[in-house]
Structure 1
Amino acid sequence: MRAQKLRRTVTALLGFTAFSALAGVLVAASLTPLVAVAGVTATNTVGIFDSLPEFIELGDQPQKNAIFAVEGVDAAGAPVYRQIAQVYDQNREEVGWDAVSQFLKDATVAGEDRRFYEHGGVDLPGVIRAAVENASGTSQSGASTLSMQLVKNIYIQDALQLPTDEARKAGIAAAQEATLDRKLKEMKLAIGLEKKYTKDEILLGYLNIAGFGGNNYGVQAAAQRYYGVSAADVTLAQAASLVAIVQEPGARGLDDPANYAANLERRDVILRNMFVEGTIDRAQLDEALAVPVDETTVVLAPYTNGCIAADPYATYFCDYVTALVPELESLGGTASERAANWKLGGYKLYTTLDLRLQTVAQDTVTAQAPATETRLALGAAAVSVQPGTGRILTMAQNTRFDNTELGGGPGTTSVNYTTDRPYGGSRGFQAGSTYKVFTLINWLQNGHGLNEVVDGNGRTVQQAAFANSCPNSSTGGGVEDGPFGGPWPFKNSSGERGSRSVMDATAASINGAYVSMGLQLDQCETKRIAQALGVHTANNVDDPATTDIVENQLGSNPSAIIGTNTVAPLTMAAAYAGIVNHGTYCAPVAVDSLTDADGVALPGQAHACSPAITSEAAATTAYALENAMARYAGNPRDGVPILGKTGTTDDFDQTWLMSSTTAVTTAVWFGNVSGKYDLTRYPGGINNRHTIAKPINAAANALYPGGAFDAPSAGLVSAPGIALPSLVGGSVENARSIVEGLGLVYSDGGQADSTAPAGTVVSPGDGTTVTRGSTVAVVTSNGALVDMPDLLGSEAGAASSTLTAAGFAEVKLVCVALGETEPGVGTVVSSNPAAGAAARTSDGATLGVGKAAC
């Protein structure tokens, strides 16, 4: 007890000393309101006061940011927006003077500064009274006027905008420290406020900045949180209860029922002060005092902050947009400045999301891929972009967004499957055969054609056989760049065999054919084509050499041909949109425009578009993919031209369907979020990608009807043929060497009856032209034919001997009547086979011998 009494005495003496010093300075300076405003100085003591800063701005306080999406168009075709989320650092909504109840204004003055309208920023009688009360131990009053409290709150708000927790804590502590210097500074700045602003402006500034417990700042947010009404509509009892919070938010805030009793006690003091001041009458006082502070009067409205509280159809898109904030140049010159301005708030972001199409996408994905599936970690996502602009129209996935610390349980996640790791936490998924399109583009840009025929067999190839001009990782290239070595066995997913045209191999997605194409191309060039179309891995990795976060580069290893790189659906959608857009890639865009807290219109994300591939290759690729989509179940078959490409990984654990019209490109992914599970064993199997894509494509075609794709290049559909050099008369070994050296496939065409020596080539003949990659059937002679000699005019016996010597099994002599006067009697006048004809000796020959009469 003696120790406690000693501490109280010491505290009282310190308080008396501090306030005596303050009073001494103020009295010495003659700082009555009139003198203070005039800035009169009188003694050396005032020098301490004069050295302090004089002015402080009320400034803008942190407010809510609002995010909007398109819900339709007006008669002129302009977008009509609907708010989908509000995101804020502090739950605050600044309001004007007329939007605040008079009860709140009067309660604030009665509870916090009863001489507010009389002093000039510092209440000198209050300072003296506080010093006396503190010295006597009856109070620990700070004698702070509303103006002084506003100054302190401004400094606290400034501290809350600092970049680190440590800096914020230090700044808040400095704004509240019980020192003479701080108190003097607070007083000086309060006087400066009174010079610059009216009393009503200061009171309104205080009501908009004050903390009301939890994350609630300003009377509007507090009234909405605790009573579900606006600051203009609170009752007398509610107004006094709200003002009761500001002195001790932690002890009197209405978020916690344990604070109700303390709030009631302070509320009643404020009510009685209002009665004494004459702002309410006895009846109003009695009525308000009779109102309890409990669960019957405090009705907590749910927080609406953040993407977890966004429109349920747009939660993941909301999260993606907020992750883009450091990149929105309209918010500031640097990433840190943009983040700080966003934290200050008051922005309205008008996004590209089309809720009409998004609703279809989300409902379809949810229905086809239940997030609570227990057989596997099932994930599904659909994202649509607009070719030519990169505007993101949909972003849907099968789970429910939850970024709370404890998570929302099964079926929830904060990971956005459609985006990269920095924008949603996903590490991406193997692209499977959707990645083959980049090999196809490389093939076409190197002059090859869709009708060329290649080996489509699954087999083992040597990785060293693939050209790869990218340096390996030890020399600064990508993490999986060449050269490569060792055998690579691969198979076709459906066991296809034989040679195929590139056109057919694309539609059937035959691995063997694409490996054969890759063997004729530079794998690094395929990688560069993908990168030009915006493709990159979704994951970011730590670079041990620099300790920086760097993008994990695409691999150009041979297996990349069939889709081993891990990418995000949004990335693939933008890449395919670039193909449709005549070969020009446009980076994804989510924000069309925004306005700041003053309503000033600001530009959204710039449309970053650049040529990526030749227009001829783009059009011909689209032609091949349109042929492929004609076979797929994801095609709505509504008359709108549409292209597409499926993708499935070797283990059937990831499946894709890319599809696009000239107006909308959609990527659908359906697969394992983690672990392995053969989706062919799942109900619907890999066909689920089509059942998700089809209704989305149908809805997109209704809202954004597309047109015809560009006509393909005739030269790239049927590439110039290869003229074979002379093979006839040569050996089989020579023919095989020539055929395979031209990149063609040698085939044994068997033997044919010929006069050429047995075993020599008789077909194909000189001047034959074949399609690149096609099979050449080489035919050899069996030596069964001879050239029929010309025996006309020869003596019959001698002619017969000649044929017998030539190998003819049988020689027939027949009479030909010439008459006595005709020449040639006794000689050969005809032969069958005719002279010079190729004759089979086993068939024999017939000679006509001339006679006068037969």
Structure 2
Amino acid sequence: MPAQKHRPLGVLRALCGFVGLSVVAGLLVTVMVTPLMAVTGVTASNAIGIFDSLPEFIEIGDQPQKNEIFAINGVNADGTYSYERIAQVYDQNREEVTAEEVSPFLRDATIAGEDRRFYDHGGVDLQGVLRAAVGNATGTSQSGASTLSMQLVKNIAIQAALQQPTAEARKAGIDAAQAGTPDRKIREMKLAIGLEKRYTKEQILLAYLNIAGFGGNNYGVEAAAQRYYGVSALDVTLAQAASLIAIVQEPGARGLDDPANHAANLERRDVILRNMFVEKMITREQLDEALAVPVDPTTVVLAPYANGCIAAHPYARFFCDYVTTLVPELETLGSSPAERAEAWKIGGFTVYTTLDLRLQTAAQDAVAARAPAAEARFALGASAVSVQPGTGRILAMAQNTGFDNTAVGGGPGTTSVNYNTDRPNGGSRGFQIGSTYKVFTLINWLQSGHGLNEVVDGNGRTVQQAAFANSCPNSANGGGVEDGPFGGPWPFKNSSGERGSRTVMDATAASINGAYVSMGLQLDQCETKRIATALGVHPANDVDDPATTDIVENRLGSNPSAIIGTNVIAPLTMAAAYAGIANHGTYCAPVAIDRMTDSAGQSVAGQAQRCSAAIDPEVAATTVHALANAMKRYAVNPKDGVPIFGKTGTTDDFDQTWLMSSTTAVTTAVWFGNVSGKFAVTRYPGGINNRHLIAKPINAAANALYPGAAFDAPAPKLISGTGATLPDLVGGTVDNARSILGGFGLGYTDGGQADSMLPAGVVAVTTPGAGAVLSRGQAVTVVTSNGALRLVPDVTSVDPSAAAATLAAAGFTSVARTCVAVGDNAPGGLGLVVSSNPAAGAAVRASDEVRLAVGATRC
């Protein structure tokens, strides 16, 4: 193919264009302004003055490009992560290319089709202007004599208009850029001359190829080549190059997205090909070969758009959508949310996220296996999200539905709602958290100096809400609507009907509501809420954008029922909170973006890590100790040697179930329940055990990829706490028991009488028993002896009459005899007592019958 030559005469003419602006202005007035002069009386000299006053400076600038989002898919030999692209997100389908990445066919076709004297002018084609003058004067032409430089100016203006914040502003800008008015044309010419002064011809040509619209949402030759032919701009054929350039004058009529445009595109393509031959850019053989290629579905093979999270990696679409919602928060993109959104819209960013596709695959497969999206019996939802303690990095984010954010929706089994995140980040209103919220009462308990071995009342019962301390302001004082003081009775029950007193350690493992209510009665409920807030907990549906963090905090309920989990929270929030406990009490806000690069390949910071001390490390370690004990009861533990802790949560109606599990390296929250409605998951195959069946393979995969370490040792003082150790009261008087319990700050409950060998009226038994550590105010049930029990004496091998006398002397009032055959092998046993029932040493009532077995040869 002949090379394009720059003619010396063309360079001279270009120089004339630079120095002869007054001459150019005169021609412009003649060609473009004469009609205006006739109407308004503007003189030619005034028009030249207007031309001279117009700005001549314009920058090519950066054009909107794709943003690419990557996730981790492995580890390189040097220990660094390897990545896989999971999505590309763009406002305009564009990928800027360098001159070396553009086929010479495309460059030549552009010149042949749009500006054959491109190398001969200085931004304004004087021959074209004269031709336009004749045509306009005779009414035979509407030509505006636009050069490539002028078209570039217009495209820059259109792109600037497209970046406006409102539809009205965008339309107004585009209309102004395309207006068929003399003043717009004059301005365009002046700016084109300025472009030619500032940039080389090759820079202008490349900029045009990168900015031009090619139909639909395709901008720039690279995106167009990929969309219409599935090849790069460097690899297009001659016929393909000419077809692409045929689009730019009338993208709506010649764009290749619509087969109805193919005939118009063919007609213009062939004109361009013949121009290329005339300009000696191609040979006769190349021309004939290209003209023989049809423009139809056999040659135009549309590649599917890959824009947006709906076209992302099928396992990462919800995470992709979550990442895009974070743009207004990325401080490195600008000083305000509006600037950051604008920078993202311009694009060209490569985003390296925290998502680990290896763990994500395990999570998505586990969720899908236990919670099919097509479930018809109820609105079944399930999700799993994993966070790294110490960094807040989100390693996995899965849910049971498909992602679809189109206007028409994807039908059953799809949604655009991310079950793992807050509503402002594409999430739902959250889900009632159940007993997983008890951990914050436990932390408050330990923080207040209490211990895990302290015993509390575990019974379900009715308590007065006014009995709970709550230092948070009520709504009348500017607090949240759910804050105290509260009043009225609150009846509650234990989910499995548990009764009696329990240690806090055991109550945590069994998740006994009654015990946690007893703990709450000794704590400030507002402090429990402050602890939760310090660990990042907040309602998922907080969309009012309150002005102060105090109001945000008050939106989290501190009402007594919050103790057992009535707040509505997103799984990601809970995962980050439990990760803070695993991280020695230091909370780190969730992070999804590690780092980025901009369109120039320069490194750009990702999300800033925000970590803060939330609870005392000793309290955190002791909390982990209690939750590790609870984990012994759960089926979620992969039992691979990695220490793990966790907590379950279930609502009263069994419509929401949760499971939190964590090592020192990965924390995972699993939710399984109703998206809407109140269907009890206990009626669903697998029941509440589904949460364990989802979490177990995720934990196994996490432990293989991110092995956890040993937990910190619990603080001994927080094991025993500050409660009173109950002494042995058995055998003492009731008055003595009352006095001792009162001295320890413990309550006395009369448990009535019980059968006992002890003298009537003395203490026979206490609940809890001696040695138990009891919280101040805890009641001890004292049972006194009725003195009714007697020990049966040993009366074997004696005469029955003597045995009866012995029993009578011991207080037994009913003695009976029975025969037992001992045969001839028991000399000396004949006629004597062989055994008694009850046996010797048994403690029985004095009125109970004692039956003596007397030996005989036969009965």
For this structure pair, what is the TM-score category when the shorter chain's length is used for normalisation?
0.7 to 0.9
Cα distance, 1:144 vs. partner? Answer: 0.7
Determine the C-alpha separation between the residues in 1 that align with 2:546 and 2:65. Answer: 41
Cross-structure match for 1:61:
63
Q: Deviations over 1:36-85 (max 9, x none)?
A: 31255476542111101111111111111111111111122111111111
Cross-structure match for 2:106:
104
Cross-structure match for 1:331:
333
Query: Which AA in structure 2 matches 1:490?
Result: F
* 1:753–1:272 Cα change, 3 Å: closer
- Which of 141, 155, 158 aligns to 2:157? It is 155
Contact 1:622–1:709 (CA under 8 A) maintained in structure 2: yes
1:522-561 map, 5 Å: 522-542=524-544, 553-561=555-563
Contact 1:390–1:586 (CA under 8 A) maintained in structure 2: yes
Say whether residues 1:207 and 2:206 are aligned partners: no
Q: Deviations over 1:725-781 (max 9, x none)?
A: 9997675996699389535766446598889xx8687999xxx87511466353658
Contact 1:134–1:140 (CA under 8 A) maintained in structure 2: yes
* 1:753–1:363 Cα change, 3 Å: closer
Question: What secondary structure sits across from 2:120 in the alignment?
Answer: coil
Contact 2:754–2:764 (CA under 8 A) maintained in structure 1: no
Say whether residues 1:778 and 2:782 are aligned partners: yes
Query: Which AA in structure 1 matches 2:49?
Result: G
- Which of 368, 371, 375 aligns to 2:370? It is 368
* 1:49–1:746 Cα change, 3 Å: farther
Contact 2:389–2:666 (CA under 8 A) maintained in structure 1: yes
1:12-51 map, 5 Å: 33-38=14-19, 40-41=21-22, 45-51=47-53
Determine the C-alpha separation between the residues in 2 that align with 1:130 and 1:435. Answer: 78
Cα distance, 1:667 vs. partner? Answer: 0.5
Cross-structure match for 1:742:
746
1:226-305 map, 5 Å: 226-305=228-307
Contact 2:66–2:92 (CA under 8 A) maintained in structure 1: yes
Contact 2:352–2:595 (CA under 8 A) maintained in structure 1: yes
Contact 1:55–1:192 (CA under 8 A) maintained in structure 2: yes
Contact 2:483–2:554 (CA under 8 A) maintained in structure 1: no
Q: Deviations over 1:420-445 (max 9, x none)?
A: 00111311111111011001111111
Contact 1:746–1:775 (CA under 8 A) maintained in structure 2: no
Question: What secondary structure sits across from 2:15 in the alignment?
Answer: helix
Q: Deviations over 1:513-556 (max 9, x none)?
A: 1111111111111111000000001002448999xx97881101
The unaligned stretches of length 5 or more in structure 1 are 1-30, 785-808, 810-841, 843-854
Q: Deviations over 1:537-587 (max 9, x none)?
A: 1002448999xx978811011111111111111100110011111111111
Determine the C-alpha separation between the residues in 2 that align with 1:431 and 1:763. Answer: 40
Contact 2:470–2:485 (CA under 8 A) maintained in structure 1: yes
Contact 1:640–1:707 (CA under 8 A) maintained in structure 2: yes
Determine the C-alpha separation between the residues in 1 that align with 2:193 and 2:102. Answer: 25
Cα distance, 1:318 vs. partner? Answer: 0.8
Contact 1:747–1:775 (CA under 8 A) maintained in structure 2: no
Cross-structure match for 1:136:
138
Question: What secondary structure sits across from 1:117 in the alignment?
Answer: helix
Contact 2:161–2:170 (CA under 8 A) maintained in structure 1: yes
- Which of 460, 464, 467 aligns to 2:466? It is 464
* 1:374–1:723 Cα change, 3 Å: closer
Cross-structure match for 1:421:
423
Determine the C-alpha separation between the residues in 1 that align with 2:348 and 2:518. Answer: 58
Query: Which AA in structure 1 matches 2:206?
Result: L
Question: What secondary structure sits across from 2:72 in the alignment?
Answer: strand
Determine the C-alpha separation between the residues in 2 that align with 1:238 and 1:730. Answer: 103
Determine the C-alpha separation between the residues in 2 that align with 1:167 and 1:590. Answer: 34
Cross-structure match for 1:395:
397
Aligned residues: 750
Contact 2:753–2:784 (CA under 8 A) maintained in structure 1: yes
Determine the C-alpha separation between the residues in 2 that align with 1:770 and 1:508. Answer: 19
Query: Which AA in structure 2 matches 1:380?
Result: A
Query: Which AA in structure 1 matches 2:694?
Result: I
Contact 1:534–1:587 (CA under 8 A) maintained in structure 2: yes
Cα distance, 1:253 vs. partner? Answer: 0.7
Determine the C-alpha separation between the residues in 2 that align with 1:748 and 1:310. Answer: 70
Determine the C-alpha separation between the residues in 2 that align with 1:506 and 1:744. Answer: 25
* 1:733–1:106 Cα change, 3 Å: same
Query: Which AA in structure 2 matches 1:610?
Result: S
Contact 1:732–1:760 (CA under 8 A) maintained in structure 2: no
Cross-structure match for 1:17:
none
TM-score (norm 1): 0.84
Question: What secondary structure sits across from 1:540 in the alignment?
Answer: coil
Contact 2:648–2:659 (CA under 8 A) maintained in structure 1: yes
Query: Which AA in structure 1 matches 2:782?
Result: V
Identity over aligned pairs, percent: 77
Q: Deviations over 1:184-239 (max 9, x none)?
A: 11101100111111111111110000000111000000010011111111111111
* 1:544–1:158 Cα change, 3 Å: closer
- Which of 612, 616, 619 aligns to 2:618? It is 616
Cα distance, 1:502 vs. partner? Answer: 0.9
Contact 2:727–2:771 (CA under 8 A) maintained in structure 1: no
Determine the C-alpha separation between the residues in 1 that align with 2:785 and 2:365. Answer: 69
Contact 1:652–1:680 (CA under 8 A) maintained in structure 2: yes
Query: Which AA in structure 2 matches 1:648?
Result: T
* 1:73–1:116 Cα change, 3 Å: same
Question: What secondary structure sits across from 1:286 in the alignment?
Answer: helix
- Which of 119, 122, 140 aligns to 1:120? It is 122
Contact 1:541–1:550 (CA under 8 A) maintained in structure 2: no
* 1:724–1:404 Cα change, 3 Å: closer
- Which of 695, 708, 732 aligns to 1:706? It is 708
Cross-structure match for 1:685:
687
Question: What secondary structure sits across from 1:491 in the alignment?
Answer: coil
Query: Which AA in structure 2 matches 1:38?
Result: V
Contact 2:454–2:723 (CA under 8 A) maintained in structure 1: no
Cα distance, 1:33 vs. partner? Answer: 3.8
* 1:652–1:736 Cα change, 3 Å: farther
Contact 1:539–1:551 (CA under 8 A) maintained in structure 2: no
Contact 2:741–2:748 (CA under 8 A) maintained in structure 1: no
Query: Which AA in structure 1 matches 2:603?
Result: A
Determine the C-alpha separation between the residues in 1 that align with 2:467 and 2:350. Answer: 56
- Which of 587, 590, 608 aligns to 2:589? It is 587
Contact 2:456–2:504 (CA under 8 A) maintained in structure 1: yes
* 1:216–1:505 Cα change, 3 Å: same
Query: Which AA in structure 2 matches 1:36?
Result: G
Contact 1:130–1:139 (CA under 8 A) maintained in structure 2: yes
Q: What value does the CA root-mean-square deviation take over the aligned residues? A: 2.7
Cross-structure match for 1:174:
176
Query: Which AA in structure 2 matches 1:91?
Result: N
Contact 2:546–2:552 (CA under 8 A) maintained in structure 1: no
Question: What secondary structure sits across from 1:659 in the alignment?
Answer: strand
Cross-structure match for 2:191:
189
Cα distance, 1:282 vs. partner? Answer: 2.2
Cross-structure match for 2:806:
none
* 1:743–1:179 Cα change, 3 Å: farther
* 1:167–1:359 Cα change, 3 Å: same
Contact 1:251–1:259 (CA under 8 A) maintained in structure 2: yes
The farther-off stretch of 583-592 and 263-272 is: 263-272
Determine the C-alpha separation between the residues in 2 that align with 1:182 and 1:263. Answer: 28
